[in-house]
Amino acid sequence: MGLEIVKELAAAGQHVLLGTRNIARGQAAITQLGAANVDPIQLDVADDNSVQAAATQIKDQCGRLDCLINNAGIALDNYEAPSTIPVATIRKDFDVNFFGLITVTQAMLPLLKLAPSAKIINVSSAVGSLTLASDATTSIYQHSAVGYQASKTAVNMFTVDLANELSDTTVTVNAVNPGWVDTSFAGGGGDKTVQEGVVRTVELALLATNDITGTFSDTQGIVPW
């Protein structure tokens, strides 16, 4: 989904920085896109030094950041029951999905505040919704990926708290549910194409106005917390 987001934002005329753990692979992806307005930037969300270096590079090269899309994520649970899943596995989920997201956001926030109007978009998941997970009529009720799910629930809370903190600034913060997207991440069994999965993220990023904040949404509207 990250590459599709880059593709669509670039096609809309945005200057896009593609975060990649491996610069060579990132550049290869950009070459495949054929977009002149996309640049790679080395970024490993689980490496504090990498994150700080990326923030410094963006400041030096661009001066500010208009939109931060936190899309990095892993799911290591392998559908193991919450009563037996190793805590170490849950910690690894959180290191990328939650702590990595916070590390990147905090490092980029000074650059976002330098923009006339800026957006933070956190790619979350409906499986992190406590409301849906506790409703026996939903498909999420029997879902078993407690590390991944809990990390996304935590992302939602961070979204709310940060949106509240920044409510008197020009920076908005929102979470997006892409749905079950047919990628290798989803095990190839998703019911949405990659293009369908990025619709709401791209829509928020390209909105001319910036008055939506503190929400969790998808293409159908508001997703319950």
For residue 19, the enclosing domain spans 2-222
Catalytic residue of the set 94, 148, 158, 216: 148
User: CB-based contacts of 28: which residues, under 8 Å, 6+ apart?
Assistant: none
Do residues 40 and 27 touch, judged by C-beta distance below 8 A? yes
**Average pLDDT, whole number, for the chain?**
95
CATH code of residue 13: 3.40.50.720
Between 101-112 and 48-62, two packed helices, what is the crossing angle to 10 degrees? 20
Give the residue carrying structure tokens 């990595």.
100
How high is the pLDDT of residue 185?
65
- Please indicate whether residue 79 is annotated as part of the active site: no
- Averaged over 59-81, what is the pLDDT? 96
How does pLDDT run across 175-221, given as a tens digit for each residue? 999 998 877 765 556 789 999 999 999 999 999 999 999 999 999 99
What is the domain count for the chain?
A: 1
Do residues 93 and 74 touch, judged by C-beta distance below 8 A? yes
- Averaged over 78-85, what is the pLDDT? 95
Whether 18 shows a pLDDT value over 80: the answer reads yes
How does pLDDT run across 119-174, given as a tens digit for each residue? 999 999 999 999 999 999 999 998 889 999 999 999 999 999 999 999 999 999 99
Q: Identify which of 61, 154, 59 has the alpha carbon closest to the alpha carbon of residue 109.
A: 59
Do residues 168 and 187 touch, judged by C-beta distance below 8 A? no
The model carries a pTM of: 0.96
Q: Which two tokens stand for residue 188?
A: 């190839």
Distance CA 185, CA 191 (A): 13
